Structure 1
């Protein structure tokens, strides 16, 4: 597969689609000052090169009854490959887990869980998380207010000049 070199137009396409994936090709082309045919071709190339992980609609958690975000620090008793894989398989199957990161430092995993209320969180802990073999400690922090939430990656570091994606 040929490595695609990102240029300023590609960066504009990525930025525009990160903010609104529902843009039609004509709208996108107009927004980035390109005619529709080359715009469509560039989007197809970016897609083929794996720059897009998917297209989604962001739903307001409070409007669908999931106003509580809980951040959990999870420590395993023995963080060896087999136990890490077991834990990751378990949490990946739970719809409440919105994000899960393997971490360095004082704990092994950071999870963000979305639940309707404290009772639902208690059920999540009792019925799911505390039942995972190898979990030695769980520390929970409740979000009081979401100050900032972004899904669009900052692409300013790509600059105006062409950038070889192998450098990314």
Structure 2
């Protein structure tokens, strides 16, 4: 009789053990506006500026806050076309998945690389000057790589991010908590 060891199912509500509700509220507000001043953040959360300053510093030291970001209008920089390129690697290239991701994220025009499960291995978000540059980028930088089995490209008409539209529900709402 074949007996396969069973793995315990992963908890669905993993949280950093030291985070409390104030930490989550601070993170939520910083996700909405990473450039908010410490004084404005404290006022919004009805706590002292020294509290938010200490909490933000602790969140950075713990690695919960990894960086701050600016939302860029790529069209204003002459990058009028964005694309999503789905990449499937050859079966023989599977051991090089991490190396491929590290290589692709460094290519000009690449905004983000998402490693996925399923039929497609990577979703690559790019910004280009036009459709000709997008075509050439996919053909020369992505499709020609010996690790790549196939690519599929879609043009992005509009890109909205959840962070730009965060409501007041916070992380508890995202986790489905009441």
Distance in 1 between residues matched to 2:17 and 2:49, nearest whole Å:
20
Residues 72, 110 of structure 1: 8 Å contact kept: yes
Alignment of 1:152-163 (within 5 A): 155-157=171-173
Which of 70, 74, 81 matches 1:68?
Answer: 81
| Residue 150 (structure 1) aligned with residue 166 (structure 2) | no
Corresponding residue to 2:138 among 93, 107, 125: 125
Aligned positions of 1:63-142 closer than 5 A: 63-78=76-91, 80-142=93-155
Cα distance change, pair 24–115 in 1 and its aligned pair in 2 (3 A): same
Give the C-alpha shift of residue 20 in structure 1: 1.4
**Deviation per CA, 1:33-86, whole angstroms, max 9, x where unpaired?**
001112211111111111111112211122112221211111112254433134
TM-score w.r.t. the length of structure 2 is: 0.77
SS in 1 for 2:120: coil
The 8 Å contact of residues 70 and 112 in structure 1, kept in 2 or not, is answered as yes
Gapped regions of structure 1 (runs ≥ 5): 162-168
**Matched residues in 2 for 1:37 and 1:85: separation?**
41
- TM-score using structure 1 length: 0.81
> Any idea what SS the aligned residue of 2:103 has?
helix
User: Which ranges of structure 2 fall in alignment gaps of 5 or more residues?
Assistant: 1-15
Q: Which consecutive aligned stretches of 4+ in structure 1 deviate over 4 angstroms post-superposition? A: none
Question: Which whole-Å deviations, capped at 9, do the CAs of 1:131-155 have from their partners, x for residues lacking one?
Answer: 2112111111112333x32337851
Aligned length: 157
For the aligned residue pairs, the C-alpha RMSD in angstroms reads: 2.4
